[in-house]
Amino acid sequence: MRSSRDFLAGIITGVVIGILTAPRSGKETRDKLTEEASKRTDDLKDQWEKGVSQVKEGLEQAKSQVNQYADKAKDQYNQYKDQAQAALNKNKENVKEEYNDKVDQLADNAKLN
């Protein structure tokens, strides 16, 4: 940003010195200054629009990447959640089976006594 500003200041300074030292009448010099100022204003507007466009593009790319990372994170979360749920269900079944086996064993022991 600083180098662009320095470059622009150098151009303006060079143009002004060139115009002021040129052998022209006052009206011609003023007209030339007005013309050059208009050109430079147009150039600045173009640079500004390009800068705004680049910033917008950068923001869109960043937004797209953030969305991609969010989607990946969501997919991973769902995958881990499903794995945890499956493991929980399996353990739940194992505990239920062990419980039923113990109850049956206790019932058998009670019948024997």
3-state secondary structure of 22: coil
Tabulate helix, strand, coil % of the chain (nearest 5): 95, 0, 5
First CA to last CA across the chain, in angstroms? 94
DSSP 8-state symbol, 113? -
Summarised one tens digit per residue, pLDDT across range 34-92 is: 888 888 889 889 999 999 999 999 999 999 999 999 999 999 999 999 999 999 999 98
Alpha-carbon distance of 100 to 94, in angstroms, equals 10
Q: Which long-range contacts (CB under 8 A, 24 or more apart) does 83-89 make?
A: none
- Total domains in the fold of the chain: 1
Task: Give the pLDDT band of residue 102 (cuts 50, 70, 90).
Answer: confident
0.75 cut: is pTM over it? no
Q: Domain span at residue 70?
A: 2-112
Alpha-carbon distance of 59 to 8, in angstroms, equals 27
How many other C-beta atoms are found inside a 10 Å radius of the C-beta of residue 29? Answer: 14
